[in-house]
Amino acid sequence: MFCEQCEQTASGQGCHQWGACGKSPEVNALQDLLIHCLRGLSQVALKARELGQNTHEADVFTCEALFATMTNVNFSTKSFTEYIGHAIALRESLKAQLQPIEWSDLANFTPDFEDDLVQQGKDIEYEFISKSASNVDIFSLKLTVTYGIKGLASYAFHAQELGQEDDRLYAFCHAALAAINRQDLSLDDWVNLALKVGEMNLRAMELLDAGNTGTYGHPTPTVVPLNAKKGKAILVSGHDLKQLGELLKQTENTGILVYTHGELLPAHGYPKLKQKYPHLYGHYGTAWQNQTKEFAKFPGPILITTNCLMPPHESYINKLFSVGPVGWPGVTHLPSPNLIPDYSPIVQKALEMPGFVEDGELRQVTTGFARNAVLSVAGEVIEAVKRGDIRHFFLVGGCDGAKPDRNYYTEFVEKVPKDCVVLTLACGKFRFFDKELGDIGGIPRLMDVGQCNDAYSAIQIALALANAFNVGVNQLPLSMILSWYEQKAVAILLTLLYLGIQNIRLGPTLPAFISPNVFKLLSQKYNLKAIATPDEDLAACLG
Ligand code: SF4
Ligand code: SF3
């Protein structure tokens, strides 16, 4: 197998024997086969779109299928076999609606479902690598585009669940997928395509922001209990607000309390989730890599809506449920007809399980500092900067992970001087989210902007500040200290580069799929750098 799409890739070079995430070579081969089939589907969908044919089913399916291939989402051979079958069926159904056309080999490729699909996936993977690897830099950019598209597709998938869609996004996903096999594009073309992924990802995050705020209201600063409350309980993990909202609706008046886990913490900031459903009680646990301990202890069923799912232990697998693109053999998957699963098996499980037998010691944290909340105090923030009370802003955001070198981010936040403000987002914040950093004249020194996709909100805050000070974003007293792990972070990084944001510090290690030349190019153009030590980086940012 060959996979180097995430930060924990084996030895920082690529997973070859078995995924460090727990992905088997079989699943990896089926994912590669699925991507290959999606490229063929993309060619046909592009043509169909050009001829005015409705491609909506193929559009949404492409996003979901790409999402399923992201790190820590789906580990089920059965699920990928079904996705492959569906990709071919959708492609053929689109073709059938068009006049006869001479299709390419890619658009005609159909795996032999009677034969070993895993071996066919391995053959496809070998062919792709051997055709592309002769030019290391172009290969690097092809992978960057592929991984960025996966992140973009995941956000587009969530946005459409909330009724927000843009045909340009779907058309771009198909165009980029169809381009991956092209041999005629130059290095510059590939760099531009990677930046285009960033541009389109900004649109995807904008749509998702519109979906989230349009459906659940603008987040407001909200105190969230971190302790347990006596009673039956359900835990919801992942990123999907729509599925959390549906589960809350279906658990109303059952007496069951619902807890968020991981990237769903910011859900508490949305008025139409927290205020509408008082049984959305609190947040349980920390970042994804601690789930094997945290899930084992949780006394109720657990719903996984997206990444990051780790290989479940036998001790708790039977209380896990998955929806959407998520899958693990042996975990109960709830089908989603019209995007809304029937959550009664989870309710039933919660009622059977003990729940929390006593209240835990009160601990809490505040979330909900999305763009509306921050910009509502923009005047005070600007005055505080002008008076010199606030010297600098740090956006310390991104993914968490198990490696000890991620302690950099905790140490960085601890060492941020008292006259500086830290904005944070995504699951990396769990290293420091409950630290009491105090405030500067009533403005909190640590503000949780939200999930990884709320990078959109952070961008809007930065643009508004730049506008207020009449400078460009790069001239603001703002430094971005980012941590990456999976492909959503790749998409967000490409968005920031597309926006021309300079001086980003990236860690804990640089992506294995970025070749030295491509990194050199990005550092020359954007001054993108690897993190050093918290002291060195702080000194450089404040200097
Ligand atoms: Fe390895 Fe990451 Fe790929 Fe998993 S997703 S196989 S850990 S590179
Ligand atoms: Fe975290 Fe997986 Fe990336 Fe949404 S939940 S940021 S790692």
Residue pair 461/423 in contact (Cβ under 8 Å)? The answer is yes
Mutate to test the pocket of ligand 2, among 21, 409, 452 (most ligand atoms within 8 A of CB): 452
Max Cα-Cα span within the chain: 72
On whether 488 is known to bind a ligand per the annotation, the reply is yes
Please enumerate in sequence order all residues whose Cβ is within 8 A of that of 247, keeping only pairs 6 or more positions apart, or say none. 234, 236, 258, 303, 343, 346
Q: In the numeric block, which tokens belong to residue 30? A: 């089926």
- Alpha-carbon gap, residue 505 to 408, rounded angstroms: 12
- Alpha-carbon gap, residue 112 to 117, rounded angstroms: 7
pLDDT of residue 338: 85
- Alpha-carbon gap, residue 304 to 313, rounded angstroms: 15
On whether 239 is known to bind a ligand per the annotation, the reply is yes
Strand order in the sheet with 257-260: 280-283, 257-260, 233-237, 302-304, 320-322, 332-333
Span from the CA of 196 to the centroid of ligand 2 (angstroms): 23
Q: In the numeric block, which tokens belong to residue 208? A: 């998702």
User: Tell me, what DSSP letter sits at residue 421?
Assistant: E
User: Tell me, what DSSP letter sits at residue 359?
Assistant: P
395 sits in which H/E element: strand 392-398
- Nearest Cα residue to 247 out of 197, 195, 300: 300
ipTM of the complex: 0.98
Burial of residue 279 (CB within 10 Å: 0-12, 13-18, 19+) is: middle
- For residue 6, which ligand has an atom nearest its CA? 1
Residue pair 367/269 in contact (Cβ under 8 Å)? The answer is yes
Please enumerate in sequence order all residues whose Cβ is within 8 A of that of 194, keeping only pairs 6 or more positions apart, or say none. 141, 144, 145, 148, 494
On whether 486 is known to bind a ligand per the annotation, the reply is yes
Q: In the numeric block, which tokens belong to residue 306? A: 């997206």
User: What type of residue is 310?
Assistant: M
Mutate to test the pocket of ligand 1, among 23, 26, 30, 509 (most ligand atoms within 8 A of CB): 23
Distance of CA 306 to the CA centre of its chain: 9
Span from the CA of 400 to the centroid of ligand 2 (angstroms): 7
Mutate to test the pocket of ligand 2, among 294, 310, 486, 493 (most ligand atoms within 8 A of CB): 486
Residue pair 455/397 in contact (Cβ under 8 Å)? The answer is yes
User: Tell me, what DSSP letter sits at residue 249?
Assistant: H
Going by their DSSP bridges, the two strands 443-444 and 439-440 should be labelled as antiparallel
Tell the residue nearest (CA) to atom 6 of ligand 2: 399
What residues flank ligand 1, with Cβ below 6 Å? 3-6, 8-9, 15, 19-21, 23, 71
Q: Torsion angle, CA of 168/174/175/176, rounded to 10 degrees? A: 110
User: Tell me, what DSSP letter sits at residue 485?
Assistant: -
pLDDT of residue 231: 98
Residue pair 151/491 in contact (Cβ under 8 Å)? The answer is yes
Q: Torsion angle, CA of 166/169/175/181, rounded to 10 degrees? A: -150
Number of residues assigned to the chain = 543
Helix, strand or coil for residue 440? strand
Mutate to test the pocket of ligand 1, among 1, 4, 17 (most ligand atoms within 8 A of CB): 4
Atom of ligand 2 nearest to the CA of 453: 4
Span from the CA of 23 to the centroid of ligand 1 (angstroms): 7
On whether 452 is known to bind a ligand per the annotation, the reply is yes
Q: What is the pLDDT along the chain (543 residues), one digit of tens a residue?
A: 999 999 999 998 999 999 999 999 999 999 999 999 999 999 999 999 999 999 999 999 999 999 999 999 999 999 999 999 999 999 999 999 999 999 999 999 999 999 999 999 999 999 989 888 789 999 999 999 999 999 999 999 999 999 999 999 999 999 999 999 888 999 999 999 999 999 999 999 999 999 999 999 999 999 999 999 999 999 999 999 999 999 999 999 999 999 999 999 999 999 999 999 999 999 999 999 999 999 999 999 999 999 999 999 999 999 999 999 999 999 999 999 888 999 999 999 999 999 999 999 999 999 999 999 999 999 999 999 999 999 999 999 999 998 888 999 999 999 999 999 999 999 999 999 999 999 999 999 999 999 999 999 999 999 999 999 999 999 999 999 999 999 999 999 999 999 999 999 999 999 999 999 999 999 999 999 999 999 999 999 998
Burial of residue 253 (CB within 10 Å: 0-12, 13-18, 19+) is: exposed
Helix, strand or coil for residue 15? strand
Atom of ligand 1 nearest to the CA of 14: 8
Question: Residue 235's beta-bridge partner residues?
Answer: 259, 302
Residue with tokens 């930046």: 195
Going by their DSSP bridges, the two strands 439-440 and 364-367 should be labelled as unpaired
Burial of residue 353 (CB within 10 Å: 0-12, 13-18, 19+) is: middle
Residue pair 140/513 in contact (Cβ under 8 Å)? The answer is yes
Tell me the H-state helices in 109-186. Answer: 117-132, 136-161, 167-179
On whether 399 is known to bind a ligand per the annotation, the reply is yes
On whether 37 is known to bind a ligand per the annotation, the reply is no
Going by their DSSP bridges, the two strands 233-237 and 302-304 should be labelled as parallel
- Alpha-carbon gap, residue 169 to 452, rounded angstroms: 19
Span from the CA of 432 to the centroid of ligand 1 (angstroms): 26
Residue pair 30/77 in contact (Cβ under 8 Å)? The answer is yes
pLDDT of residue 183: 87
> Mutual orientation of helices 455-469 and 378-387 as an angle, nearest 10°?
60
Tell the residue nearest (CA) to atom 5 of ligand 1: 71
- Nearest Cα residue to 486 out of 20, 133, 121, 29: 20
What residues flank ligand 2, with Cβ below 6 Å? 239, 262-263, 288, 307-308, 399-400, 426-427, 451-452, 485-486, 488-489
